[in-house]
Structure 1
C-alpha cells in the first residue's frame, strides 16, 4: 500500500523529480568527464603533452568532488523536504516509522543510482564528443584514449553511491527526530533569519583575510610552487563562504531599513532572499568557484592557443623547408592558405653547402626580431649574408636536407658553376596562420622527413618544428583549459538553476497569494527578475575577482595571462546572461499564476 502511495505521489510531483534528476545527472556526468582523464595513467604516460596537464585534472577532480559533496547533500535535503509531508501522512495512516524510514532510504538510493547511471552514460557521450572536437580544433593527437574507461566509471559510481548513502543516513536521522505533526506542517514554515551584526562583521573580516591569503598564494606561485594551489583552494573556498554569508545578510538588512524597501514588492523580494540565505550561501559559494574556474580555464586555454603560434613564429621567419620538392609536395604547398615561397639553389661538397649570393641579394633571407612586449609578434627583417650571426649561419646547414651538420658558404655564379656537385633546391615556405594549415603542414613535414631525415640533434628547421615542440609541452594545458571551462560552465548552470527552481514549489503559493490580493503581473515579474539577478550577480562579481588574481598562477608559463582578458570576460558574461534569462523564464512558468482567458 505504501509503495502504491509513493508511486502515486511521485507521479504528482514529477516536475520536481525531473528538476532533481536533471541536476544530479549533470553533476555525475561532469565528474565522470574529469575522472576519465584524471585516472587514466596509461593516457598520461603515453602522451607527452598531457604530462604537465595531468596535475590540473587531479586538482580539478578534487575540487569537483568537494562541490559534488555539497551539491548531493543539498539535493537530498531537497528530496526530504519534498517528501517529508508524505512520510508524515503515511505515519498518520498507521505505517510504522521504521518501515517509512526504510522506504525513504530506498527511495533516496534509487534516485541516486538512476541519476548516476544516466549521468555516466551522458558523461561518456560528452567526453567522446568534447574531447574529439577539442583535439581536432587544437591539432592534438591523444593516444590510448577511450571515452568508456572502467576505472572512471567505478570511481564515479563509488563516490556517488557513498555520498547518497551518507545523505540517506543523515536524512533518516533527521526524520526520526522530527515529530509527525512537524513533518506534516514543515512546508508551511519558513526559516527565520536571526543574526548578530557584530558576529557578521567579524565573519566579513575573517572572510576577507582568507581571500587575501589565497590571492597572495597565487601571486607567489614562483616561491610556493605547487603548494600555492591547495592553499588557495582552501582559503578562497572558506573565504567566499564567509563573505557571502555575512555580506549578504548585512546588505539585505540595511536595504530593508531604507525607503526603497517599502516601494512595490521590494520588501517581499528582500525577504525571499533572507528566508533562504543559509541555503543560498552554500550555492553562491559553489557558483562563484565554478564561475572563476570556468572563466579562468577558458582564459588560460585561449592564452595558450594564442601563445603557441606566437612562440613558433617568433623562432623563425619561415614555416618549414622542403628539399627538392616533387610534384606531390608542390601541390601540397599550393594547397596552403596564404602561403609564400622562396627557392634557393644549393650544392653540397664535403662538409659544406654552397649557395648563390645573387639569389640572396635579389630575395634576401629574413630573420625574426622579437619586440619588447611579451605578447608581441616578431617582426622579420632582411639580413645580408655577410652579417649573419653564428646561429643564423648554422641554419643554412640545416637546409641541406642531410643527416650531417654542414657549414654554409655564399659564392658567385661562376664559383657555383665550378663546383663538382649536383644542383639541388630548397624551398622555404611561409604561412601566416599555422593552426589553420596544421593538418596540411603535418603531411608536408612528414613527406620531407621521410625523404630527408633531420640531422641528429638539430631538431629541424622553421617555425612549424618549433610549433610541434611547443604544442607537445603546452598543448595538453590548452586542451585542459577549454575542457575545464566548458565542463565547469555546464556545472555552474546546473547548480544555480537547480537551486533556484527547486524552491519554486513553495514560492508558487506566495506568488499566488500576492496575485489574489491585487499585485499586478508586472510587479511579480520584476520581483522575480531582481531576486534571480542578485543570485546570479553576486557569485559572478567574486568569480571575476578570483580570476584576476588566479591568473597569477600562469605567469610562469604564459607570456601575458591578462592579454585581452576584458573581451574574454565580456563574452563569458554574455553566455552567463543567457543562463540567467533561461532561469527567469523557467521560474516564471513554475510560480506565476496562469492568466485566465
Structure 2
C-alpha cells in the first residue's frame, strides 16, 4: 500500500508531464481501436474495392502500433527522469531497488488503466465519425456503425505489450545503475558528439546527395526507388545537421570576437549551442514528423482532388470498350436484357500500345517496360481521329500530329526511337480518349495514316484496335443491372479479345484507393501533428525546468531581466523554427520526385499539386507557430518561477 501511495504521489507531482501523456496516448489508443474495429468489420470486407481499403487499414494499424511504442518510450523518459530524483533519495534512505522497481510497476499499471479507459472511450465515441468519414471520401462505402468486442481485446493486448517493454527498459536501468546515476538522470543531455567537424561535413554531404536524387529528372521506372533512397539520405542528413552541423557552424561564430562578445549576441550564441546539444534528437524528430505530415497532406489531398479526372482518364464514358473484334451484338443483347439504351457512340481506331521513356526530346520505346515507364505510346488513325474530333487535318510524308496527355510542350521536330518526325500540330485536347491498356501513366498519341511511320514508332507491325465509348441511358435500377451483366460477362468479352469497362467500376476502384489513402492519411496527419505538438511541449517544459537555475545565475551576475528574456526568446524561437524551415525545404525539394511517383496513379495536374503544397504549408505554419507560442508560455512560467 505504501508503494502504491508513492507511485500515485510521483505521478501527481509530475502532472504537467503525465496529463498530456495520458491524453495523447489515449488518442492514439482510440485510433488504434478504431482501425481494428474497421478491419474486423465484415461489412468493410464485403464492399467493392475492399482489398484496397482493408490493406490500407492494416497499414494504419501497424504504423499506429509502432508510433504508440515510440511515443510511449519517449514520453516515459521525461516522466521517469523527473521522478528519478525522488527515487534516488528513497534509495539513499535505505529502500531496496526491488521496492523501487515495484513502485515503477505500480506507476505503469496506473498509466495503463488510464490509457486503456480513455482510449476505448475516445475510440467508441468517434467510431461513428470514422464510418461517416470513410463513407464520405469513399463514395462506394456504405456501412452501418459496428462495434466488435475482439477489437477491444486486441487493443488491451497491444497496450499491455507496449507497457511491458517500457517497464522492462526502466527496470533494467534501475537494476544496473548506481544511486548517483539514478539521482542525476534528469541532468543528462541527449547526446555527446565526437568528431563533430567530420560528422558536420558528412551530414551536409548526405543532405545534398538526398536533395540531388530528389531533384534529378527520373523516369517512372526508377522514381519510387530513388524516392526511398533520397528519404534515407535526407533523414540521416537531418539528424546529422541537428546533432553536429548547426552546432559546429555556431561554434565557428564564437571565433569572431566582435560578434561573440557583443551584448546582443553573447548569451544567445552560447545558449544556442547548449540547446542544440540538449535538444538535437527532439528537433530532428520534429523536423521529420513535420515533413511527413506536409508530404502526406499535399500528396493525398492532390490525388483526392483529382480523382474524378483520373476516373475520366480510365473511363471517359459510361461504357468503354477496347476490342480487336466486333462485340456490338453481345452489347446490344445485354442492353436489351437490362432495358437500357446505348447512345452517343464515340470511336477511335488506334494501334497496340508500347511503353516508352523520355530522353530529352527523344522518345525511346522500352520493350521491357511496364507500369513504371514514363509514357504509354500509341499510334492513332488519322481518318478515325478526324471523324471522332470533327476535324479535317491532312498530313504530308513524315508529318504527324501529337497529343501529350500531361500537356508537355513539343518542339516542331521530335524524335521517336531516334527517328526525326515533323510535328504539324500539337493537339491540346481530344473529344474521346482513354488509356488503351488501362494504365494510369500519361499517354502519347501519335496521329498518322502512314503504316511505315507507325512501324518505326512501335518497333513492330501495328495492329489496329477499336476504342469505343457509349453513354448508358435508363433508370438507375436498369443501369445497375446492366453494369452487373457486363461484369458477369467479362471473361466472355476477354475471350473475344475485348476489354469492357464501366465508369461505375472505375469510379469505385479509384474512390476506394484514393479515399482509403486519404482516410488513413488524415489519421496519420493528426497523429504526426499531435506528436509534433507534444514533442515541442515536452522540450519547452524540460528546458524551462533546467533553465530556471541558469536564469537566476545570470540575474545575480548583473544582467538585466529584459535582456535575459529577450535573448532567451530569440534563441528559443530560432531553435524551434529550424525544424519547420527544414521540413518546408524538404517538401519543396521533394516535389519533383513526388509528382513523378504520383503519375503512377494517373495524376498529371502540376498546378493542383502546387496549390495544395502552398495551402498545406500555410496551414501548417499557422498551427506550428501557434503551438510554439502556446507552449513557450509554459517555458516562460518555469524560468521566471522563483
Q: Same fold (TM over 0.5)?
A: yes
Establish whether residue 99 from structure 1 lines up as the match of residue 78 from structure 2: no
Distance in 2 (alpha carbons) for counterparts of 1:479 and 1:178: 51
Give the aligned partner of residue 473 of structure 1.
Answer: 509
> Is contact 2:196-2:248 (8 Å) kept?
yes
Q: Deviations over 1:268-288 (max 9, x none)?
A: 555556446577444445444
Any idea what SS the aligned residue of 1:195 has? coil
* 1:7 partnered with 2:8: yes
- 2:574 is aligned with 1:538: no
TM score, norm. by length of structure 1:
0.68
Q: Which residue of 2 aligns with 1:436?
A: none
Q: What runs of 5+ residues in structure 1 fail to find an aligned partner?
A: 321-347, 356-364, 382-389, 402-444, 460-464
Aligned to 1:72: 72
**Does the 8 Å contact 2:250/2:273 carry over to 1?**
yes
Change beyond 3 A, Cα 1:515–1:366: farther
The answer to whether 1:178 aligns with 2:177 is: yes
CA deviation after TM superposition for structure 1 residue 7, in Å: 2.8
Deviation larger for 48-57 or 468-477: 48-57
Instruction: Label 1:572 to 1:256 Cα distance change in 2 as closer, same or farther (>3 A).
Output: farther
CA offset at residue 164 of structure 1?
2.1
* Aligned-residue offset at 1:592: 1.6
User: Which deviates further from its counterpart, 76-85 or 230-239?
Assistant: 230-239
Deviations 1:412-463 (A, max 9, x none): xxxxxxxxxxxxxxxxxxxxxxxxxxxxxxxxx525537988875799xxxx
The aligned counterpart of 1:304 is 303
Is the Cα contact below 8 Å between 2:293 and 2:524 reproduced in 1?
A: yes
CA distance in 1 between partners of 2:390 and 2:507 (Å): 20
Whole-Å Cα distance in 1 between the matches of residues 241 and 152 of structure 2? 36
Gaps of at least 5 residues in structure 2 are 320-335, 344-386, 392-401, 409-427, 433-464, 491-500
- Give matches, 1:94-133, under 5 Å: 94-133=94-133
Distance 1:197 1:205 in 2: 12
Q: 2:248 aligns to what? A: 250
Aligned counterpart, 1:581: 625
Structure 2 distance, partners of 1:453, 1:202, is: 62
| Partners of 1:112 and 1:483 in 2: CA distance | 28
CA change 1:216–1:177 in 2 (3 A) is farther
Q: Which deviates more, 2-11 or 482-491?
A: 2-11
**Compared with structure 1, are the counterparts of its residues 178 and 140 closer, same or farther at alpha carbon in structure 2 (3 Å cutoff)?**
same
| CA distance, structure 1, for counterparts of residue 114 and residue 213 of structure 2 | 38
Q: CA deviation at 1:131?
A: 4.2
Q: What's the CA shift string for 1:282-337, capped at 9, x where partnerless?
A: 444544444344333333333333433224556899889xxxxxxxxxxxxxxxxx
Distance, in Å, in 2 between the alignment partners of 1:151 and 1:239 is: 43
Cα contact 2:227–2:593 (8 A) shared by 1: no
Distance in 1 (CA, whole Å) between partners of 2:538 and 2:11 is 15
Q: Deviations over 1:495-528 (max 9, x none)?
A: 2222222231442452543567423144443333
**Alignment correspondent of 2:547:** 510
C-alpha distance in 2, partners of 1:447/1:154? 42
1:20-68 C-alpha deviation (Å, 9 max, x unpaired): 223323333344455455x448466422324335444444544444444
The equivalent residue for 2:529 is: 493
Deviates more, 1:587-596 or 1:488-497: 587-596
Give the Å deviation of 1:200: 0.4
8 A contact 1:316–1:367 mirrored in 2: no
Q: 1:571 to 1:156 in 2, by over 3 A?
A: farther
Contact 2:294-2:620 at 8 Å conserved across structures: no
Provide closer, same or farther for how the CA distance between residues 501 and 99 of structure 1 changes in structure 2, counting only shifts above 3 A.
same
Q: Structure 1 stretch 28-37 or stretch 563-572: which is displaced more?
A: 28-37
| Shift of residue 105, structure 1, vs aligned partner | 2.6
Q: Per residue, is there more helix in 1 or in 2?
A: 1
**Structure 1 SS opposite 2:160:** helix
Contact 1:288 1:542 in 2 (8 A): no
Change (3 A) 1:380 1:491: same
- SS of 2:49's partner is helix
SS, match of residue 139 in structure 1: coil
- Structure 2 distance, partners of 1:153, 1:134, is 21
Cα RMSD over matched residues? 4.7
Q: How has the CA–CA distance of structure 1 residues 367 and 562 changed in structure 2, closer, same or farther, with 3 Å as cutoff?
A: same
- Paired with 1:193 and 1:209, the residues of 2 have a C-alpha distance of 24
Post-superposition offset of 1:160: 3.2
Contact 1:297 1:485 in 2 (8 A): yes
Aligned to 2:596: 552
Please show how residues 422-461 of structure 1 align to structure 2 within 5 Å.
446-447=476-477, 449=479, 456=486
Distance, in Å, in 2 between the alignment partners of 1:197 and 1:84 is 31
Task: For residue 81 of structure 1, report the CA deviation from its aligned partner.
Answer: 0.4
The alignment's TM-score, normalised by the length of structure 2, stands at 0.63
Report how many aligned residue pairs link the two structures. Answer: 497
Identify if the C-alpha distance between structure 1 residues 228 and 318 changes in structure 2 by more than 3 Å, giving closer, same or farther.
closer
Deviations 1:520-561 (A, max 9, x none): 144443333222212433334335544553443332122326
Alignment match, 2:49 = 49
What's 1:166 paired with? 165
